[in-house]
Amino acid sequence: MPVTSRFQKRRVVGLIRMQVRDAQISEIGRLATIWYDGWQDAHARILPLELARLRTLESFDERLRVALASVRVVGPADAPLGFCMLRGAELYQLYVSSQARGFGVASALIVDAEARLGDSGVDTAWLACAIGNERAARFYEKCGWHRAGTVIEHLEVANGTFPLEVWRYEKYLRRAE
């Protein structure tokens, strides 16, 4: 049964402790669906159709398989609610299922990601956000990230890269000793 009302969402997400853990191989299918659905929600209306055609469920499944070691999730075993993926100093991907948005899953994931980036020696973390993805932009800003500018990113696609102008966000991670 679809979870629709705010009350129902609160019950579903309220049952989940916001513990962040490593993704498991058995969860790739569910994570690919979260990524695909979230990409459609956030980007289909604001990004080129040519890019949307490349963002298939299968493409996300493949990318998750390759990068699984860098993926952290929140949610029950085999039913994750969202994930975060790092790549070097970049907070590379952050997606939460629509039913779990607004309840702290994304905050738990980004706190964990910042800690891992800091522990790996990154001073200034960065991320790319599609121009016009206002919900994500608001989320990053309330988490202390700032928009550093607009840059051309060469996005990973099946047979190479796809150039796209994006908002670049940064966050300085080092605290005073």
Ligand X SMILES: CC(C)(COP(=O)(O)OP(=O)(O)OC[C@H]1O[C@@H](n2cnc3c(N)ncnc32)[C@H](O)[C@@H]1OP(=O)(O)O)[C@@H](O)C(=O)NCCC(=O)NCCS
Determine the Cα–Cα distance for residues 25 and 173; give it in Å rounded to an integer: 30
Pairing relationship of beta strands 71-74 and 20-22 according to DSSP bridges: antiparallel
Nearer to ligand X, 21 or 174 (CB): 21
Residue 42 as a binder of ligand X (CB under 6 A): the answer is yes
Residue 73 as a binder of ligand X (CB under 6 A): the answer is no
Nearer to ligand X, 64 or 106 (CB): 106
Q: How many residues bind ligand X, per CB under 6 A?
A: 19
Residue 94 as a binder of ligand X (CB under 6 A): the answer is yes
The tokens of 42 are what?
């956030």
Residue 142 as a binder of ligand X (CB under 6 A): the answer is yes
**138, 108 Cβ separation under 8 angstroms:** no
Residue 145 as a binder of ligand X (CB under 6 A): the answer is no
**25, 108 Cβ separation under 8 angstroms:** no
Determine the Cα–Cα distance for residues 39 and 59; give it in Å rounded to an integer: 12
Nearer to ligand X, 28 or 55 (CB): 55
Nearer to ligand X, 60 or 177 (CB): 60
CA angle 155, 129, 73 (to 5 degrees): 90
Determine the Cα–Cα distance for residues 159 and 21; give it in Å rounded to an integer: 31
Residue 23 as a binder of ligand X (CB under 6 A): the answer is no
Residue 136 as a binder of ligand X (CB under 6 A): the answer is yes
Q: 17: which residues sit within 8 A by CB, 6+ positions away?
A: none
Determine which residue in the list 3, 9, 12, 41 makes contact with ligand X, applying CB under 6 A.
41
Determine which residue in the list 135, 146, 147, 174 makes contact with ligand X, applying CB under 6 A.
135
151: three-class secondary structure by DSSP: strand
Nearer to ligand X, 47 or 106 (CB): 106
Minimum distance of ligand X from residue 31's CB (angstroms): 12
Residue 133 as a binder of ligand X (CB under 6 A): the answer is yes
